[in-house]
Amino acid sequence: MTDTITSDELEVMLNGHNPAQVIDVRRKSDYESDPSMIPGAIWLDPEKVDAWSKELGDEDVVIYCVRGGSVSKSTLEKLHGLNIKARYIEGGIVSWKESGKSVTKS
């Protein structure tokens, strides 16, 4: 499994029989300045990954930040260190929006 997933691949996954748990890991300030989210996603504070990661089940996890940069990568490293199967969206929520996919407001 690669560390990344594209917006299109995630959309197919979410519409399929094996949807992933989608987690918005943008920094709190980024999330508060733009509360739009990928439908079905939940926001969890990336600075508290050690606490909330214990609640994750066995399903695939897909995380995203603003542009798929340092926040996604550091959160992914922590999840992988806990043996959680996870990937992050290439280009983050910006990529999702730029491809014309719908968002919801939290």
Could you report the average pLDDT of every consecutive run of 10 residues in the chain (106 residues)? 91 85 97 94 96 89 96 96 94 96 88
pLDDT of residue 72: 97
Whole-angstrom distance, CA of residue 68 vs CA of residue 59 = 21
Do residues 87 and 25 make contact, with C-beta atoms less than 8 angstroms apart? no
Per-residue confidence (pLDDT) for residue 20, from 0 to 100: 87
pTM confidence score:
0.94
Question: Distance between CA atoms of 49 and 95, rounded to whole angstroms?
Answer: 23
Name the DSSP letter for residue 58: S
Secondary structure of the chain: what % helix, strand, coil (to 5)? 40, 20, 40
| pLDDT reported for residue 68 | 94
How many Å apart are CA 10 and CA 20, to the nearest integer? 8
Give all domains of the chain, ordered by start, each with its CATH number.
4-105 (3.40.250.10)
- The widest CA-to-CA distance across the chain, in whole angstroms, is 34
Alpha helices by DSSP H, listed for 22-102, are: 28-33, 49-52, 70-81, 92-98
